[in-house]
A and B are shown apart, each in its own frame.
Chain A
Amino acid sequence: MATEYGQGYGLDSGSGFPGSTERRHRLPTALRAPVEGRTWRELAHVLLSLPVGILMFTYAVTMVSLGAGLLVTFLGIPVLAAALAGCRGFGALERTRARTLLGLEVGEPEPLRMTKPGAMAWMGAVLKSGVSWRALLYAVVQLPWAVFSFAVALHVWLLGWALLTYPLWFWALPMHAGPDGLQLYGDGTHRIYLDNPFEITVTALVGLLFTIAAPWLVRALTMVDRLLVHGLLGPSRLASRVVELESDRGVVVDTAAADLRRIERDLHDGAQARLVALAMDLGLAKEKLQEDPRAAARMVDEAHGEVKTALQELRDLARGIHPAVLTDRGLDAALSAVASRCTVPVRVEVDLAERPAPAIEGIAYFTVSELLQNISKHARATWAGVEVWRTEDRLMLQVVDNGVGGADVSGGSGLAGLVDRLDAVDGILVVDSPTGGPTRVTAELPWRGAHMR
């Protein structure tokens, strides 16, 4: 996900159907377009737009006028709410239609936010929601466009196919039943019929031109539909950002909870268990002190060993929670300390004129620490390098090693966790790790200065 800069944003105006442009055909695109499934779907969309548009427009205008007219009485509000709710329903229908026929990727808009249950609250929510009013606007605006695009598309399309097949029906239709073919021009005295082979060929060629042009015209027409659906029926930009932030916040909360669980678990299985064992040893030693001082001395000795191990475990755990040196001396010192614990020699270069905000510093530290741990565990490298620098308003980290490569951000690896963590602060992690190495992991964090502390 992190490697695909700028993809998946905005209007997917190109090929709605994945793979349709990649496939190699013997026919050139221009000739293939008129008979492609995609073209038919788009044409179907344009043709369907008119009846749907009429229905929507009639409904919306009638109901809203009725509601507005009744506003002087208490009935106006419910009617207006019903009108808007209906428009939302039409909106959902239109989104589905655009998704299936145009292949448009449009998200669901934000749902109604009801503070409490009940009909009154529902009406309030419908009337207050921007989505409702945008759906109403869509219902009104869509019709004129539908009329126009319907007429244009249908005419061009029919004309194209009719002229293209002119030779066929010139030949098939009985000559004596009517005039001699298509009349190009006629007044009282002159009549020009397209009836000789040359004229028939030219007519068919003109038809071919129209037929070839029709798909592109229809596509151009549906662009407006796409914009309308995207702009008026999709989620607003603000709402999209809210959804994004909500998911980021979820990740933050989840990682915080997971961290707490891990710390509790480490304490429970590590230092706490060791201290219980220590207490047990000392308890036994106390019992033995009188009757068997030698055994007691041995137990005290064991307990001494236990307490030293417990101290070591506590120290590791505390450092895992937050290394003191990071707070005191900043990234350079902290990363040097991490590097010295790595199993391969690590060159650390930190080029920062000032210290970033503690939160950013912490994430940077844990990112490098996790990456170096990965190198120790999996990379089979003989050296590694860490670089930290600042560009404009971004803090950049790069960890390089000459190991076996093949690191992957997908799946339940530690890298996926890092991506989530960085994502939560609008950071990016890019992994370049071909099989056989070398591996280069670059992380980008937003720069925030330490002055906020």
Chain B
Amino acid sequence: MLDPSYGWARSRCGLRTGGIGLWGPDIVEDRVRVVIAEDSVLLREGLTRLLTDRGHDVVAGVGDGEALIKTITELDAQGELPDVVVADVRMPPTHTDEGVRAAVQLRRAHPGLGVLVLSQYVEERYATELLAGSSRGVGYLLKDRVADVREFVDAVVRVAEGGTALDPEVVAQLLGRSRKQDVLAGLTPREREVLGLMAEGRTNSAVARQLVVSDGAVEKHVSNIFLKLGLSPSEGDHRRVLAVLTYLNS
């Protein structure tokens, strides 16, 4: 099975040696406008500090799902829709899945808005709900990932720019629970790694850097995977993620 921490451990190495942003030159660290929804003041302040420290703009911080939707609607009315929302899953009043529901609602109302959902636990079911329809500008990460500041901020930026950031644990769950185990068993170990990284939302070049192989090699793996899974190779990373996830989930 895919080691959940795999991608993240690897990327730290990449950072140390390469010293470039994790997702490579295809994502430039622009100033991103963020709204944070998190009921724990401690974490909300921490996140704000973390993002502003990296030069991003935290427009607003709220404590529950309703306030989040209200804030976004107001900002939208002023023509200042943020680039991305970072939302905790569990917020008042019920402390269950307010964050996910608010995120789904926001994605429907504002297709251009990126939504990154943070949670103490990742559940493949929530990921499926978030990804329903499109994987454009969606992120779903374990809260622990904020410890790796650079990666986390990069994930925020990636989601803000319409990319995908799925937690390796979600991907592991998806791979583990998929009913297509016999087909998945047909993949070589390297292909499984590539599939996992792809499902996390990484581009070919990011995958290549992670696995320390050439872009061409990754492309070959990817087309092999699509061939073995019986998927038509699609252009664009978001659609590719969606195709893979739909396949795993069906």
A residues engaging B (CB < 8 A)?
265, 268-269, 272-274, 276-277, 279-284, 286-287
Q: Find B149's partner among A272, A273, A274, A287 (CB 8 Å cutoff).
A: A287
20 A-B pairs, CB-CB below 8 angstroms? A265-B95, A272-B120, A273-B42, A273-B43, A276-B143, A276-B144, A276-B146, A277-B40, A277-B42, A277-B43, A277-B46, A279-B144, A279-B147, A280-B146, A280-B147, A281-B46, A283-B147, A283-B148, A284-B53, A286-B149
Decide: B95 and A276 in contact? CB cutoff 8 A. no
Decide if A287 touches B47 in the complex (CB within 8 Å): no
Considering only residues 44-90 of chain B, those with a C-beta below 8 Å from chain A are 46-47, 49-50, 53, 90
Task: Give how many A-B residue pairs fall within 8 Å (CB-CB).
Answer: 45
- Say yes or no: A284 contacts B49, CB within 8 Å: yes
| A-chain residues with CB within 8 Å of residue B239 when the two chains form the complex | none
Other-chain residue from B95, B144, B150 in contact with A287 (beta carbon distance below 8 A):
B150
Which chain B residues (102-136) contact chain A, with CB distance < 8 Å? Answer: 120
Is A282 a contact partner of B120 (Cβ separation < 8 A)? no
Q: Check A283 against B42 for contact (C-beta < 8 Å).
A: no
Q: Is the interface of B mostly helix, strand, loop or mixed?
A: helix
A283 contacts across to B, CB distance below 8 A: 50, 146-149, 152
**Which residues from chain B contact A265 at a C-beta distance below 8 Å?**
95
Q: Are A274 and B120 in contact (CB under 8 A)?
A: no
Nearest chain A CB to B202 CB, angstrom units: 21
A268 touches B148 (CB 8 A): no
List CB contacts (< 8 Å) of B12-53 with chain A: 40, 42-43, 46-47, 49-50, 53
Q: Is the CB of A284 within 8 A of B144?
A: no
Residues of B within 8 A of A286 (CB): 149
Name the residue of chain B whose CB is nearest to the CB of A265.
B95
Chain B residues with CB under 8 Å of A282's CB are 147
Chain B: CB-nearest residue to A267: B120
**Chain B residues with a Cβ closer than 8 Å to the other chain, count:** 19
List residues of chain A with CB within 8 A of the CB of B150: 287
B149 touches A280 (CB 8 A): yes
Nearest residue in A to B45 (C-beta to C-beta)? A277
For A268, the chain B residues whose CB sits under 8 A away are 90, 120
Find out whether the CB atom of B149 lies under 8 angstroms from the CB atom of A276.
no
For the complex, would chain A's binding face be called helix, strand, loop or mixed by DSSP majority?
A: helix
- Interchain CB contact under 8 A, A280 and B40: no
Report which residue of A269, A272, A283, A287 has the largest number of chain B beta carbons within 10 angstroms of its beta carbon. A283
A274 nearest CB across to chain B (Å): 7
Nearest CB in chain A to that of B49: its residue: A284
How far does the Cβ of A78 sit from chain B's closest Cβ, in whole Å?
Answer: 48
Contact status B42-A274, CB under 8 Å:
yes
- A residues in contact with B120, CB < 8 Å: 268, 272, 276
Q: Quote the shortest CB–CB distance from B93 to chain A (angstroms).
A: 13
Closest Cβ–Cβ distance, residue B38 to chain A (whole Å)? 9
Contacts of B46 in A (CB 8 A): 276-277, 280-281
Considering the chains assembled together, what is the distance between the CA atoms of A277 and B49 in angstroms?
A: 11
- Interface mask (B151-177 → A, CB under 8 Å = 1, otherwise 0): 010000000000000000000000000
Cross-interface CB contact of A269 among B40, B50, B147, B152, cutoff 8 Å: B40
A284 to B46, CA, bound (A): 10
Interface centre among A277, A281, A284 (most CB of B within 10 A): A277
Closest to B147 in A: A279
| Docked-complex contact A284 and B50, CB < 8 angstroms | yes
Q: In the complex, which residues of chain A have a beta carbon less than 8 angstroms from the beta carbon of B90? A: 268
Chain A hits for B147, CB < 8 A: 276, 279-280, 282-283
Known: A269-B40, A277-B46, A281-B46. 8 other contacts (CB 8 A): A265-B95, A273-B43, A276-B120, A276-B143, A276-B146, A280-B47, A280-B50, A284-B49
CB-nearest residue of chain A to B40: A273
Which residues on the A side are within 8 Å of B143 (C-beta)? Answer: 276
The CB with the most chain A CB atoms within 10 A, among B90, B146, B147, is that of B147
Q: In the bound complex, do residue B146 and residue A279 qualify as a contact, i.e. CB atoms below 8 Å apart? A: yes
Q: How far is the CB of B150 from chain A (nearest CB, A)?
A: 7
CA distance A418 to B46 in the complex (A): 39
- Nearest CB of B to A8, in Å: 38
- Chain B residues, Cβ within 8 Å of A281: 46
A276→B150 CA distance, assembly (Å): 15
